[in-house]
Amino acid sequence: MTFEVHAQGAVHVFDCFSCAIHRMAPICEHCRVQIIGQGVEADGHWYCGAHCARAEGRSGIVDRV
Least confident of 11-15, 18-22, 26-30, 59-63: 59-63
Give the three-state DSSP class for 20: helix
- What whole-number distance in Å separates Cα of residue 39 and Cα of residue 60? 15
Using the predicted structure, report yes or no on whether residue 21 has a pLDDT greater than 80.
yes
Q: pTM to 2 decimals?
A: 0.75
pLDDT of residue 51: 92
- By the 8 A CB rule, do 61 and 53 touch? yes
Task: Give the contacts of 15 (CB within 8 A, at least 6 positions apart).
Answer: 1, 2, 3
Using the predicted structure, report yes or no on whether residue 65 has a pLDDT greater than 70.
no
Mean pLDDT throughout 11-28? Answer: 94
Burial of residue 40 (number of CB atoms within 10 Å: 0-12, 13-18, 19+): buried
